[in-house]
Amino acid sequence: MQDVSAISGNSIPADEPKLNYINNGHTLKSWLLTKDHKRIALMYLLSVSAFFLMGGIYAAFIRLELLTPASDLLETATYNKVFTQHGILMVFFFLIPAIPAILGNFLLPLMIGAKDLALPRINLLSLYIYWIGGIITLWALMKGGVDTGWTFYTPYSTTFSNSYVMAVGIGVFINGFSSILTGLNFIVSIHTMRAPGMTWFRLPLFVWAHYATSLVMILGTPVVAITILLVAIERFARIGIFDPAIGGDPILFQHLFWFYSHPAVYIMILPGMGVISEVIAGFSRKRIFGYEFVAFSSIAIAVFGFLVWGHHMFVSGQSVFAGLVFSFLTMVVAVPSAIKTFNWVATMYKGSISYDTPMLYAIGFLGLFLVGGLTGLFLGSIGLTVHLTDTYFIVAHFHYVMVGGQVIAYLAGIHYWWPKMTGRMYSEFWGKVSAMLVFVGFNLTFFPQFILGYMGMPRRYASYPEELQVLNIFSTAGASVLGIGLLMPVVYLIHSLFYGKKAADNPWMHPGLEWRTSSPPPTENFKEMPVVTWEAYDFGEESGLDIEEARRREAVTV
């Protein structure tokens, strides 16, 4: 107990910079050959952001093209490539690595009180694999791009497409191993690297969420890897098992693809749920309501997530019986997500809620994820989804879950842990403005698409009937607001690096282990091995937080 409060060090850092992970070595080599999870996380942050920017530019072109009913801004051939590349970059190079590879990498060892992940070299390897996969993909995009849709459906991808399917396929295949290795590292670290006293049920829910995510990464990613490899081999050999002309089966591809890609949806949302659990508990200053239920619902989602892939194929000609079974299981998997939502709301009950930027994002998440989850029920209901599938209803639904869920959670997490990662505070005012803009812009962009979908507007269309233009104009207008909202953090976060106020070690006075070391942390994370004697989310004095001292500090700075 005593040594803990010593670690937590509430004092404002002196002007003389302490030795931390950022200034411990300045050479390029010290970054490129580092085994420090925090440096790897920062390099991921840069790379993933670059891909996010590229994907965002493609999104802008999509929305501009859809401003008018005719295909006028882009030729259809270009439009097909633009939406495909938007999907591929966003799914494989942004959504999947965003929270696990950046925030997970940075925080997981800190949260469990370890010096590093269990396999630091593997961690660095995963970054290099990500880079190699990314470079191959970018090379293919520069050479001419790919137009199969991010789903690579056969036989279009294997036989008919004239684009760089093979190169992009190999890029995605290689990139898959990056997430496999990350997942592997997390599982091992959570099992063996916990500090003394950090029992399984004292783990922050962020760690539980990453454990569930890692299970999916390890068990799902290899299947899609082999599937995409088969597509590449088929294109090369001009023969194969997905080619109906010789007795192959294009539907088999869909089964193999969605067996991974549906669980991959949970790779994209579970870590976000973990972040939201941390932020809501933190800024309500309350233990999360029903800790065990939130923790096990993550595992339940990961497990059931493997059983529902067929709900992507309700109209693909699979048997009626299979359709009904998948529809039933889809309904079952909705329940753990509902449990989480209720628990998050209940956590705020009788809390002490502050409106800091991360909390604003988290509240936005609750609203958007609610809509995303409920519209998931529309699509799980098999009779209704016959009408809705392959329309803009689907597009709107998964953007509500992926952007409204994962991206918003990612932004909440970045704002929450920014002081820890960089040692600087960002502008609270601009943070709040951007959180509001993102929320408003997002809803304006994607809510009209639900209506468009029910009207029957098919997805992946470069042109559409004129009567649907008004809703598309709303959507494009919203997208520009959303774009501005998303660009603002880039500006004020970079600004904060140079001009931001120095962050205290524990600016929010939260009890997690990551706040009990200096900001930014030293390379070895903790000066001394922490010993955990308090339960998770214990905001009281008994967890060793010196709240009086923090209040004094606030009084001085305000």
Partner 1 sequence: MTAHGDTHEHHEPGLQHQFEDMNQQEESVSIAMWAFLAQEIMFFGGLFTAYLVFRWRFPMAFAAGSNHLDPFWGGLNTLVLIVSSLTMALTVYYAQKGNRTLQVAMIVLTMLFGSVFLGVKAIEYTDKYNHGLVPVTGWNKKVKEDTSAPHVTEQDCTQVGHGDGDDHYVNPKGEFQWKDCSLVKLAQEKNYLTADEKIGYFTNGEIDADKFRDKVRLFYFIYFVMTGLHALHMIIGLGVMLWLLWKAWIGTYGPKYYAPVEISGLYWHFVDIVWIFLFPLLYLLGRHFLH
Partner 2 sequence: MLIMQTNSWIPLFPEQASSFAWQVDYLYFYLILVSVGFTIPIVAAIFFFIVKYREREKFATPDEIHGSMVLETVWSIIPFVISMTIFLGGAVVYYTQYRMPEDAMNVYVVGKQWMWKIQHETGQREINELHVPVGRKVKLTMTTEDVLHDFSIPAFRTKADVVPGRFTYLWFEATKPGKYHLYCAEYCGLNHSGMVGYVYVMEQKDYENWLQGNVTGQTPIEQGRDLFENKLGCASCHTGGQQQRGAKLEGIYGKEVSLVGGQKVLVNDEYLRNSILNPGAQVVEGYQPIMPTFKGQVTEEQLLSLVAYIKSLSGVTATTGTPAAAPSPVSTGTDAGSGNTQGGDR
Residue ranges in contact with partner 1 by CB under 8 A: 19, 21, 24-25, 30, 34-36, 39, 114-120, 122, 180, 183-185, 187-189, 191-193, 218-223, 225-227, 230, 233, 236-241, 246-249, 252, 255-256, 522-524, 529
69 binds, among partner 1, partner 2, none (CB under 5 to 8 A by kind): none
CB of 235 to partner 2, least distance (A): 7
How far apart CA 359 and CA 363 sit, in angstroms, is: 6
Q: Is 152 left (phi over 0), alpha (psi -120 to 50) or beta?
A: left
Residue with tokens 């809705």: 388
Closer residue to partner 1 in complex, CB, 248/419:
248
Length of the chain: 558
CB of 415 to partner 2, least distance (A): 17
Closer residue to partner 1 in complex, CB, 143/191:
191
Using CB under 8 A as the binding rule, the residues of this chain from 222 to 251 that contact partner 2 are 235, 244-245, 247, 249-251
Among residues 6, 322, 324, 491, the one that binds partner 2 under rule CB under 8 A: 324
514 binds, among partner 2, partner 1, none (CB under 5 to 8 A by kind): none
Using CB under 8 A as the binding rule, the residues of this chain from 277 to 306 that contact partner 2 are 284-287, 289-293
Among residues 458, 501, 502, 522, the one that binds partner 2 under rule CB under 8 A: 458
Which of 522, 503, 514, 419 shows the shortest CA–CA distance to 23?
522
Query: Contact between 547 and partner 2 (CB under 8 A)?
Result: yes
210 touches 282 (CB < 8 A): no
Among residues 90, 103, 409, 471, the one that binds partner 2 under rule CB under 8 A: 471
Letter string b/e over residues 500-536, b meaning 16 or more CB atoms within 10 A of that residue's CB? beebbbbbbbbbbbbbbbbbbbebebbeeebebebeb
CB of 477 to partner 2, least distance (A): 14
Letter string b/e over residues 161-185, b meaning 16 or more CB atoms within 10 A of that residue's CB? bebbbbbbbbbbbbbbbbbbbbbbb
107 touches 517 (CB < 8 A): no
Query: Contact between 390 and partner 2 (CB under 8 A)?
Result: yes
Query: Contact between 541 and partner 2 (CB under 8 A)?
Result: yes
HSE toward the beta carbon, residue 122, CA cutoff 13 A: 16
240 binds, among partner 1, partner 2, none (CB under 5 to 8 A by kind): partner 1
156 binds, among partner 1, partner 2, none (CB under 5 to 8 A by kind): partner 2
291 binds, among partner 1, partner 2, none (CB under 5 to 8 A by kind): partner 2
Using CB under 8 A as the binding rule, the residues of this chain from 11 to 70 that contact partner 2 are none
Token readout for 513 is: 């282990």
Angle (CA) 529-294-326 rounded to 5° is 130
Token readout for 440 is: 């408003």
CB of 541 to partner 2, least distance (A): 7
Q: How many of the chain's residues bind partner 2 (CB under 8 A)?
A: 111
Provide φ and ψ at 151, rounded to 5°.
-85, -10
